[in-house]
Structure 1
Amino acid sequence: MSGIWGWFGGGAAQKRKDNPKNVIITLRTQLEMLEKRQKHLENQIEQQNQIAKKNVTTNKQAAMAALRRKKAYEHTLEQTLNHVGTIEQQIGAIESANINLETFAAMQRAGDVMKQIHGKLTPTKVDEVMDQIQEYNRLNEDIADSISNAAIGPQVDEADLEDEMEALQQQELEDKMLETGAVPVDRLPAVANGDLKGKAPAVTEDDEEAELRKLQEAMAI
């Protein structure tokens, strides 16, 4: 019979029924029923106690019957309270055991995952990867430097630039001297040696130095 029951899914159904969570739900349902019964018995006990008080002097027989019913209810209530305590204890034990089971299962899964991860990861492999990363970083820096230092446009001779700069400075100096009325010595027209005899030069060297100082001061301003 058990084999046939297993074929029709009875085994799986029983396994689901015995699941800790399902058992706890069943026990809590039973506990709710017992608590309702407890409340009902307490009300009955109070009711019979009132009947006994009411008839204690006028109807002794009715009072005695009420006390007997009260005692019976009290006995049943005591049993009910024992059942409530037992079920509450079972619920607590199952919940604690279930928490332990779930915690162990989670730790076991974590252990399996760690084993799977470290099965593919070793210190040697980590060192190799780190070396590769550092090599790629160095290569990337070299490439960046090469790109930054790459010449764009035609190459310029620095010596030619210096010569051109000196020519511009000389031209600027001559322009300033022309504005002040001074003429550089090297720009004077050539004169025969015979023409210079007995004549003073057009610009003395002292005058040239004075004009040069004036020019320098003007350029500084």
Structure 2
Amino acid sequence: MNLFGKAKAKPQAADTTSTILKLRETLDSLDKRENHIQKKIKAQLLDAKAKSSAKDKRGALFALKRKKMYEGEVNKLNGARMTLESQIIALEGSNMNMQTFNAMRSGAKAMQDARGRLDVDQVDDVMDDIKDEMDIAEQIGDAIARPADDLFDDDALLEELDMLEEADLEEQLLAPPAVPTARPAAPQGVEQPAVAESKVPEGYELPSVPSTTPVSAPVAVEEDEDARALRELEASMAM
């Protein structure tokens, strides 16, 4: 701050784009300058050749010296052009970096505005609440799917089942044995003994075999009929 007057204004930072344009304009001027000097170099070379042909050795050497001076100027211009091109490349890189930085900063600001006051702790709390609610929902589903309590006592049912099984076994033990209807088969390799034919006295006939299938009857009834038939047969033979 100046104590005796107004503070000097700070020089504004040069605009990168305008600076690059000025550098390119300078490069164009250097190119034009080099083209002009190249023409002079060619003219001095022709002058040297002409004076050499005219046997003017001193004039030819002087023309070659001017040619070398112009060539030195071209080398200086090439050096300056290289420096300007390096500055242009550096400024363009800096300009791109600044644009990238500004874009990133704008993106970060937009993300902050979109997020608002949301922070990590709030997100963790919400995720914990979601997990708790999911656990509760799963427990409710399991409770709904679980069958209701049995209406009957398992012990009483098992006791009744045992009584039924005992009654069934007792009924099987008290049932009369079944009368075999066929002669058991002889073991393999043992000849079946021939059944002796009953001799019936002449003039008597045995009861005919029924052609229809007899109706099932109790075993006791079948035994009475057989005994009665045998008695009738014996009585007829005794006569």
TM-score (norm 1): 0.48
TM-score (norm 2): 0.45
Larger Rg: 2
